[in-house]
Structure 1
Amino acid sequence: MELEQYQRNAQHLLLQLGLHIGRRQGLYLLTALCLIRERPERLQLVTKWLYPDVAAVCHTTYTAVERGLRAACDNLWYCENYDLLIKITYFDRDTRPSPSLMLAYLYQYLLAK
């Protein structure tokens, strides 16, 4: 799948889950997914490789990206389309995944599409 198609699919998925790209946290999550698509090894060291790269692309700080991705994952967890999120992550409401694990699950789901 080409990067443009992947980005459209990622944006559509986030919108299905109730996360809008017009908000910073949605932009950070979309950017993170696209950067992971370019180099999947970024998932190995999220705080060392991924967060600084997202910060550079979005012209912000590492801490803003970390905080934004944490908030984005929290918002996803309490989204209206919870059935889709469970299909993607296999978790239940009581054991939500960390932001890095959420990114990994979203990335794998998008690759399978």
Structure 2
Amino acid sequence: MIFVEEELEQYQRQAQRLLLQLGLHAGWRQGLYLLTALRLIHEKPERLQLVTKWLYPDVAAACHTTYAAVERGIRVACDNIWYRGNYDLLIRITYFDRDRHPSPSLMLAYLYQYLLME
């Protein structure tokens, strides 16, 4: 059990570092939602299959807020990263161009996969 907890803590630090590199601070509510979503995806990757029906309600419960606040917060976080963040790093992660950005659920999948490769 100690190994699993240490691995989860290490993943959490990597995710937080990645969000900071992308220009999103985990101290902001949207950053907290995104960070929590990445942690929950890491615990159970199947959550990526039903983001709006499974992941967002779990994030809302973990953050003591509503589903709607999480959905909007993650959308705003992804838009902020895309339009104001570290674009060079983002392109390496998502392979999208400036004119066509991924949906929040696809962005979560790309961020999760990138963290696994790190």
TM-score by length of 2: 0.94
Query: 1 or 2, which has the higher helix percentage?
Result: 2
Query: Aligned-residue CA RMSD in angstroms?
Result: 0.9
Task: Report the Cα distance in structure 2 between the residues aligned to 1:89 and 1:80, rounded to whole angstroms.
Answer: 13
Shift of 1:81: 1.4
Please tell me the residue identity of whatever aligns with 1:45: L
Query: 2:77 aligned with 1:72, yes or no?
Result: yes
5+ residue gaps, structure 1, are none
- 1:81 maps to 2:86: yes
TM-score scaled to structure 1, two decimals?
A: 0.98
Q: Distance in 1 between matches of 2:77 and 2:92?
A: 18
What is the aligned counterpart of 1:39 among 40, 44, 66? Answer: 44
Deviation at 1:80, TM superposition (A): 3.9
Read off the aligned partner of 2:62 and give its amino acid letter: V
Q: Which structure's CA Rg is the greater one?
A: 2
1:57 and 2:57 equivalent? no
1:15 has 2:20 as partner: yes
Query: Once superposed, which parts of structure 1, at least 4 consecutive aligned residues long, lie more than 6 Å away?
Result: none
* 8 Å CA contact retained: 2:15, 2:35: yes
